[in-house]
Amino acid sequence: MTLPIKPWIHDLPVYEPGRPIEEVAREFGFTNPQELIKLASNENALGPSRKAIRAMKRAASNMHRYPDGGAYYLRQALAHRFGLTPHHFAVGHGSNELIALLGHLFLEPGTSLVMADRAFAIYRLVGRLYQAEVISVPMRDFTHDLDSMFEAIRRDTRLVFVANPNNPTGTSVSRAALDRFIERIPPHVALVLDEAYVEVLPPELQPDSIRYVREGWPVFVLRTFSKTYGLAGLRIGYAMAPPEGVGALNRVRQPFNVNAMALEAALAALDDEAHVRRTRRMVSQGLRQLEAGFRSLKLNWVPSAVNFVLVQVGQGRHVFEALERKGVIVRPMDGYGLPEYIRVTVGTKAENERLLESLAEVLVDER
């Protein structure tokens, strides 16, 4: 049987996510998945906010009801938090859904998007999904080169993606560079600022993207409850944009794109500042611990202020596989054109220690 699927869909690559712990445990014969540690997907090692867990338990008995399709309370709370209005917010099934919806709004054959060569891989996939050309601009020192990205904009460009801080490099662009970029952006282009990790940054390092939204620049700022808030399994994120952009997103999304439990948990998590502070502390201590470990192993790494770090280990794929056999799951980076690197999520103190010990053993075998 041959299905009449649109021909170009056959050539789309499938996104390769980090494998779930249970699957790795099965393959390598660990009887208890708890013997493994997963430092592969930039999840929050502290888990979800306890306030969010309580909210989910409370919400469980209401799951026969459809969710609030307009996300009324969450958008109110976000507006209050950021000094904007509910009309500046669209809520999505993870920020990944919003990235795809932005493709739906702006991209088609004959258009292009601009991204950095080592930025989050989903942008490229969404470009191809909507048959737009993907213009990939080399990074400089593992950082978005906004001047070169500006030069790369063409008449047919509709979207520019900047992940800030970027995954997988952990680097940020400066406020000054971003201000300069925004002020020069041509009227046929919208800028997507993907800020999935922004809450984990110390407040003085956080970009001022809310100002761009408030002032009505052509931006979509994407944020998520997956990382700092520890709710990756629930799938909920949001876009902040001038109301015209939010209105367009609302026209293309499905009416109940975000589930009711996720809405309740997000609302509670947003209110749990203590959990965010704990997470920040765990990340900054963990980064220092990992850096000290890498230094004593004589490894280079890309300085990071977020909950993951790129480290140069030689044959990345090989080291990834050897670590996996020891029950430590990290992420190989050959897919990003960085075959000598692995990306490691910052874990708890004990997890970081286990990673460093396993890495030391693996590198002895390698060298």
Ligand X SMILES: *Cc1c(COP(=O)(O)O)cnc(C)c1O
Could you say whether residue 194 binds ligand X (CB under 6 A)? yes
DSSP characters for 116-129?
ETTS-THHHHHHHH
User: Nearest approach, Cβ of 41 to ligand X (angstroms)?
Assistant: 8
Strands 112-116 and 133-137: parallel
Interacting residues with ligand X between 80 and 139 (CB under 6 A): 94-96, 120
Binding mask 303-342 for ligand X (x = CB under 6 A): ----------------------------------------
Task: Count interface residues toward ligand X (CB under 6 A).
Answer: 14
Query: Which C-beta is closer to ligand X: that of 209 or that of 224?
Result: 224
Structural tokens at position 330 = 């990290």
The CA distance from 356 to 301, in Å, is 14
First to last CA, the chain: 51
> What 3-state DSSP class applies to 311?
strand
Cβ at position 295, least distance to ligand X in Å: 26
Stretch that binds ligand X, among 223-231, 260-268, 286-294, 318-326 (CB under 6 A): 223-231
Residue whose C-alpha is closest to residue 174's, from 182, 164, 186: 164
Given the complex with ligand X, which of 232 and 297 has the nearer CB atom? Answer: 232
**Residue number, 112 or 164, with CB nearest to ligand X:** 164
Q: Are 62 and 193 in contact (CB under 8 A)?
A: no
CB of 67 to ligand X, least distance (A): 17
Stretch that binds ligand X, among 4-12, 220-228, 299-307, 345-353 (CB under 6 A): 220-228
**What would the DSSP string read from start to end of 249-273?**
HHHHS-TT-S-HHHHHHHHHHHT-H
Give 146 or 322: the residue with its C-beta nearer to ligand X.
146
Q: Is 229 in the site for ligand X (CB under 6 A)?
A: no
Residue type (1 letter), 64: H
Nearer to ligand X, 124 or 227 (CB): 227
Residue located via tokens 């979207």 = 159
Q: How would DSSP label each residue in 189-227?
A: -EEEEE-TTGGGS-GGGS--HHHHHHTT-SEEEEEESSS
Nearer to ligand X, 77 or 163 (CB): 163
Closer residue to ligand X (CB): 18 or 286: 18
What is the contact surface with ligand X in residues (CB under 6 A)? 42, 94-96, 120, 163, 167, 194, 196, 224, 226-227, 232, 237
